[in-house]
Amino acid sequence: MAAGETLTSSQYVKHHLHHWQISLGDSAFWQLNIDTLIVSIVLGALFLTVMYIGAKRASPDVPGKLQNMVESLCEWIDNSVASTYHHKRNFVTPLAITIFVWVLLMNFMDLIPVDLVGWTITRMTGSSEYYFRLVPTADANLTFGLSITVFLLIIFYNLKAKGAFGLTKEIFSAPFGIWLFPLNIAFRLIDELVKPLSLSLRLYGNLFAGELIFILIALLPWWIQWTLGGLWAIFHILIIVIQAFVFMMLTVVYLNLAQDAH
């Protein structure tokens, strides 16, 4: 859009829902959402840096505020994992901590005013021709990427716990017996494919809806924006935390099911 151009409500919404993209080829399939990559990587690096600093400053005598916060978080997540995951947790608990904190940080970007980044870019560059979305989890590409990673871990833990022969036998014989193996295979395929779909679409749908509501509130007169925006932000904080927790716990549940025998 040109500098100084007044957007209609429809154009405003479309502009804020458009990603900053680069194309890697002629096909529209080979496009990268640069804003999603930048924000998610920066937040991941921030999380790792804070945890590293907390580990370096850890003291067995007088723990600091950061150490207390990290220990409380890790203990809470480990207890949540232990109540659901009935195997050794030396990998799954750190995985759950990473998923919860990283998804939570990405979700919290939805609380930043929708026009703040645009205003900053315009002041820095003098151009209003920009696209930048701040909420990585409102991008289906990222949520599907996370869920596909979980799906690969499910396959790995199935093979690790049961072996190739045991897993093949389970697919063919459970739950209706070997003589109904076509039905068993169909049910198993549906069951396994639904897991990454439910993980990704639940997170994406909730955060996309939240982002869209904030954009619609920004279209209202200034004197009502802060009231409605504040009320929605307070309610949305609950959604943000719950969605991060649900994604973490479903991952743990799926990994536990992968190692349990039918």
Catalytic residues: 198, 202, 206
User: Beta 21-23 vs 31-33: how paired, if at all?
Assistant: antiparallel
How many Cβ atoms from other residues are within 10 Å of residue 171's Cβ? 17
Encoding tokens for residue 2?
Answer: 């040109």
- Angle at the Cα of 149 from the Cα atoms of 146 and 154, rounded to 5 degrees: 130
DSSP 159-190: HHHHHHHHHHHHHHHTTT-GGGHHHHHHHHHH
Cα–Cα dist 165/170, whole Å: 9
Identify any residues that bridge with 199 across adjacent strands, giving them in sequence order. Answer: none
> Distance from first CA to last CA of the chain, Å, rounded?
58
Instruction: Show Cβ contacts of residue 166 under 8 Å, excluding neighbours closer than 6 positions.
Output: none
For 95, list phi and psi in degrees, rounded to 5. Answer: -60, -45
